[in-house]
Each structure stands twice: as structure tokens, then as C-alpha cells.
């Protein structure tokens, strides 16, 4: 087998099938199991991966189509919620992987409500999940819109390739079996290329996407809904109906994107607003973001005014005039804002350079002081060593003098010996 073949990930159900096949045929090698997996699942896996799979115990997961087991914060609640989804799909008589298009139990608002109901019943009113949790739950269980689209595209591609293969085999006689075997590999490559093309959409917002989002937000005004996520769900459905909008975004992701744009506008971060777009798109997006912020603020003030009778209402004519004035002054204000931001960045760069120079100066002074201290300590050690060496030399000299005196004879004793 060629080592350059691309590797793929098996689902939990495929891994369990591979384990059962290994238990039934323990004499098979890893290479033989690898070939069986390719013949059964149509995917090449590494021999080491096959070894890890067959040595691991059988996995039990609510979503057997997942490639790995993922446990959330509330596994019992997720198991019950997924069982409820499967039961709803069985009751409606539709494929679970196609329920997103039919608008059944897979809507974000209903999933969020059901999850909190289960948590309240099992763990009390203290526990709850957010809308972002719904997005992660659908990702973990293969129910996200992008995963459903990818699965549908792969299924359609496999069916198309199978039909083409059957037609090719029907037109060729028994004497062309070898030729049919050679055409199977190109058909598989065509399927992979079609699947890759179907899943190569962008995943980040650009200015054109922001303009579409802001346009539908101004038209629908999701903040006026009793349940805000219902309004954002309508915004998401409108965006998915646009051919130019190629992002797979949920209602929570669209809401988070708007909050980010409003935060950039409030902080004066025009560089972030200008990303991924032309100057015309930037100007248009800035005007739309300002209009959204204005309408949201007016709605909040109106809600507060219901409890405060002293608030004076403003008629629609004044609103129209203010909108026109805001649109006319948006471009000059943006130009002044850009100039101010450029000046601010220049000042920040100068301050940063001054801080860096001061830090370098402090560092050099610390280095000089450290070197002087080290030099002083070395001199002190050398002086101590010199004093010790001098004392040792003096001791040795004294010992030599004592030895010499002990060896030299006394003169009186020599004279007495001579007379004797």
C-alpha cells in the first residue's frame, strides 16, 4: 500500500464495527484489517490507528456518526435531549440528518428551551445553558447546519458516482472488466473533489456579509421581539436565502457579530471595522452600524419611558430628519475619526518608543552596576587570597629558620670536645 495516501477519521460506529470484525477474526494482521476497513468504509487509515482502535474498548455514544467521543458539561441532559430529537424524527418519519431543513426540533430556540427544562427538572433552577451551548451541542452530535450540508453533499456525491459507475459497467462487456477497475479510482477522486468544493465556503465575515446582516437587522429589528432569539432566527433565515451570503452561521453567531461591530463603533476602533472590504463598503457599513446603535438606544429609552411619564415623545418627522442628517454627516465624521485615530496611533507609537528607550537605559545602568559589583568582589577575593599566601610563606620561612638552628652546633660544645 502506498504511504502517501491521505488518512481519514472513522466514525464511532465504524470503529465499533472494526473492533467486532477483529474479535471475530483475531488472526488478521493490522495491514489486513486496514484493507478490510478501506473495502468496507472506503477510507484509508494508518496501521498504528488500526492498532489503537482494536485495543480500545467498544465506545457507546448518543451520536454514533461522530468521529470521537465528546462529553459536555451535562452528559445526562445531552443524552436525554438527543434521545428526544431521535424520537421526534421517528415520529415525523423523516431522516434525522435532514430535520434542519424542515424546521423541526432542531431550531436553536426550541433546543435551548428543552435543555433548560431538563436541567431544571434534574438539577434544579440553579443550572442553565446559554445559546452558545446549543451551537456546541449540535457540533458534538453532528447536527450543525454545516455538518448536515456536508453529509448531504457527500451522500449525493456518492450516489452520483455510484450511478456513473453502474452506467459505465453496463456499457462495457465482460471482456472490459480490467478497464472498469481502472475507472473506479478516477470516479472516487471526482467524488472527493466535489465534496471538497462543496465544503470550501468561507467561515469569517467580510464587509459585504456585514452589510447584508445589518440591512436585515434594521428591517426585522430582533431586539423588539419578546424573545430576542426568535428575531435573530428570522434574520438568519433571511441571510440563508441570499445567494451572496455563503456563511454557515447560527442566530447566536449573527448576534455576536452585531455586538462586536457595535463594540468597535463605541470604542472608535475603525481599523477593525475596515477589515476585509473596500472604502465604499466601509463607509456603508459604518453608517448602518451607527443606525442600528441609534435605533437600539431609542428602543431602550422608549422601554424606560413606559415607566417614566415625564419622557417626551418624538414624532416620526423628527426621526426622519435626524436619519437624513445622520446619513449626510456620517462620511465627514468617519474621515475625521480616521484622522484622529491616525494621530492617536502616532502618539502611542512615540510613547512606546520612549518607554522602550527608558527601559533600555535602565537595563544598561543595571548591567554596569552589576559589573562594578562583580569587579569589586573579585578584587576582594584576590586580596584575601594574597594575604593567605603571604601568611603561608612567612610560616614556611619560620619553619626553615628553626630547622637550620637545630642543625648548626653550638661553639662552646665544639671547644670542649676539642680539648678533651
Report the pLDDT value the prediction gives residue 110, as an integer from 0 to 100. 83
Q: How confident is the model at residue 406 (pLDDT cuts 50, 70, 90)?
A: confident
Quick one: pLDDT at residue 137?
Answer: 82
Q: What is the pLDDT of residues 264-316, one digit of tens each?
A: 888 887 777 776 678 788 888 888 989 999 999 888 888 887 655 544 444 44
Q: What is the pLDDT of residues 320-338, one digit of tens each?
A: 455 555 555 556 677 788 8
* Residue given cell 419578546 in the structure block: 226
Instruction: Give the C-alpha separation, 142 to 146, whole Å.
Output: 9
State mean pLDDT over 365-388. 93
Question: For the chain, how far is it from start to end, CA to CA, in angstroms?
Answer: 118
Q: Which pLDDT does position 138 carry in this prediction?
A: 81
Task: Compare 240 and 396 and report the one with higher pLDDT.
Answer: 396
Identify the pLDDT of residue 410. 60
Residue of 2 and 272 predicted with greater confidence:
272
- Residue with the larger pLDDT of the pair 289 and 72: 289
**pLDDT band with cut points at 50, 70 and 90 for residue 393:** very high
Whether pLDDT at 376 is above 90 = yes
Output the pLDDT for position 408: 74
- Residue 104 has what pLDDT? 52
Q: What percent of the chain has pLDDT over 90?
A: 16
Which of 336 and 390 is assigned the larger pLDDT? 390
CA 57 to chain centre: 30
Give the residue-averaged pLDDT of 126-133.
80
Judged against a pLDDT cut of 90, whether residue 381 lies above it is answered with: yes
- Compute the average pLDDT of residues 100-119: 72
Residue 261: which of 252, 273, 243 has the closest Cα?
Answer: 273
What is the average pLDDT across 131-143?
80
- Per-residue 3-state assignment (H helix, E strand, C coil) for the chain: CCCCCCCCCCCHHHHHHHHHHHHHCCCCCHHHHHHHHHHHHCCCCCHHHHHHHHHCCCCCCCCCCCCCCCCCCCHHHHHHHHHHHHHHHHHHCCCHHHHHHHCCCCCHHHHHHHHHHHHHHHHCCCCCCCHHHHHHHHHHCCCCHHHHHHHHHHHHHHHHHHHHHHHHHHHCCHHHHHHHHHHHHHHHHHHHHHHHHHCCCCCCCCHHHHHHHHHHHHHHCHHHCCCHHHHHHHHHHHHHCCCCCCCCCCHHHHHHHHHHHHHHHHHCCHHHHCCCCCHHHHHHHHHHHHHHHHHHHHHHHHHHHCCCCCCCCCCHHHHHHHHHHHHHHHHHHHHHHHHHHHHHHHHHHHHHHHHHHHHHHHHHHHHHHHHHHHHHHHHHHHHHHHHHHHHHHHHHHHHHHHHHHHHCCCHHHHHHHHHC
How many Cβ atoms are within 10 Å of 217's Cβ, its own excluded?
A: 27
Cβ atoms within 10 Å of 179's Cβ, excluding its own: 11
Cell numbers at residue 103, please? Answer: 424546521
Residue 183 has a pLDDT of 46
pLDDT in tens, 112-126: 888 888 888 887 767
Short-list 130, 127, 157, 132, CA closest to 144: 132
Higher pLDDT, 99 or 364: 364
Is there a contact between 52 and 30 (Cβ–Cβ < 8 Å)? no
More confident residue, 68 or 17: 17
Position 96 scores a pLDDT of: 66
* Dist. CA 197–CA 200, nearest whole Å: 5
The C-alpha cell at 318 is 423628527
Contacts of 61 (CB under 8 A, 6+ apart): 12, 69
Residue range 92-115: mean pLDDT, rounded: 68
Cα angle value 284/288/293 (rounded, 5°):
150
Confidence of residue 389 (pLDDT cuts 50, 70, 90): very high
C-alpha cell at 105: 426540533
Can you give the pLDDT at residue 192? 46
pLDDT exceeds cutoff 80 at 339: yes
pLDDT digits (tens, 9 = 90+) for 212-229: 889 999 999 998 988 788
249 closest CA partner among 235, 264, 269: 235
Read off the C-alpha cell for 272: 477593525
**Average pLDDT of 105-112?**
75
User: What is the C-alpha to C-alpha distance for residues 113 and 401, in angstroms, rounded to an integer?
Assistant: 106
Residue 372 above 90 pLDDT?
yes
> Over pLDDT 70: what percentage of the chain?
68
Give me the pLDDT at residue 125, please: 67
Higher pLDDT residue, 161 or 281?
281
C-alpha dihedral sign at 189, 151, 198, 78: negative
Range with lowest mean pLDDT among 38-52, 153-167, 185-199, 205-219: 185-199
Write out pLDDT tens, residues 50-62.
888 888 887 766 5
Amino acid at each position: 500500500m502506498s504511504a502517501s495516501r491521505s488518512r481519514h477519521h472513522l466514525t464511532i460506529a465504524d470503529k465499533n464495527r472494526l473492533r467486532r470484525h477483529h474479535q471475530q477474526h483475531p488472526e488478521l494482521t493490522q495491514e489486513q484489517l486496514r484493507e478490510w476497513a478501506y473495502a468496507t468504509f472506503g477510507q484509508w487509515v494508518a496501521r498504528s490507528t488500526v492498532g489503537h482502535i482494536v485495543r480500545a474498548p467498544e465506545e457507546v455514544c448518543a451520536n454514533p456518526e461522530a468521529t470521537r467521543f465528546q462529553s459536555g458539561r451535562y452528559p445526562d441532559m445531552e443524552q436525554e435531549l438527543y434521545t428526544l430529537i431521535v424520537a421526534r424524527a421517528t415520529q415525523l418519519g423523516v431522516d434525522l440528518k435532514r430535520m434542519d431543513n424542515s424546521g423541526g426540533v432542531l431550531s436553536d430556540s426550541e433546543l435551548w428551551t428543552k435543555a433548560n427544562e431538563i436541567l431544571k427538572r434534574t438539577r434544579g433552577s440553579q443550572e442553565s445553558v446559554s445559546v452558545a451551548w446549543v451551537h456546541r451541542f449540535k457540533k458534538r452530535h453532528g447536527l450543525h447546519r454545516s455538518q448536515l450540508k456536508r453529509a448531504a453533499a457527500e451522500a449525493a456525491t456518492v450516489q452520483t458516482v455510484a450511478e456513473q459507475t453502474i452506467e459505465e459497467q453496463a456499457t462495457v462487456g465482460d471482456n472490459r472488466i480490467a478497464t472498469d477497475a481502472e475507472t473506479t479510482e478516477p470516479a472516487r477522486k471526482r467524488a472527493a473533489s466535489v465534496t471538497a468544493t462543496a465544503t470550501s465556503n468561507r467561515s469569517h465575515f467580510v464587509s459585504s456579509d456585514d452589510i447584508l446582516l445589518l440591512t436585515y437587522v434594521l428591517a426585522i429589528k430582533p431586539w423588539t421581539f419578546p424573545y430576542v432569539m426568535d428575531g435573530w432566527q428570522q434574520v438568519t433565515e433571511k441571510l440563508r436565502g441570499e445567494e451572496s451570503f455563503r456563511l454557515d452561521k447560527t442566530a447566536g453567531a449573527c448576534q455576536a457579530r452585531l455586538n462586536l461591530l457595535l463594540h468597535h463603533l463605541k470604542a472608535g476602533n475603525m481599523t477593525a471595522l475596515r477589515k476585509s472590504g473596500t472604502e465604499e463598503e466601509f463607509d456603508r457599513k459604518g453608517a448602518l452600524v451607527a443606525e442600528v446603535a441609534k435605533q437600539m438606544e431609542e428602543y431602550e429609552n422608549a422601554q424606560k419611558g413606559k415607566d417614566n411619564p415625564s419622557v417626551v415623545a418624538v414624532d416620526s418627522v423628527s426621526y426622519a430628519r435626524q436619519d437624513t442628517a445622520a446619513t449626510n454627516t456620517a462620511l465627514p465624521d468617519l474621515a475625521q475619526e480616521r484622522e484622529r485615530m491616525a494621530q492617536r496611533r502616532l502618539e502611542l507609537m512615540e510613547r512606546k518608543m520612549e518607554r522602550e528607550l527608558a527601559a533600555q537605559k535602565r537595563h544598561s545602568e543595571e548591567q554596569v552596576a552589576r559589573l562594578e559589583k562583580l569587579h569589586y568582589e573579585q578584587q576582594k577575593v584576590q586580596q584575601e587570597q594574597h594575604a593567605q599566601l603571604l601568611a603561608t610563606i612567612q610560616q614556611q620561612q619560620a619553619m626553615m629558620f628553626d630547622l637550620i638552628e637545630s642543625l648548626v652546633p653550638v661553639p662552646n660544645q665544639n671547644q670542649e670536645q676539642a680539648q678533651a
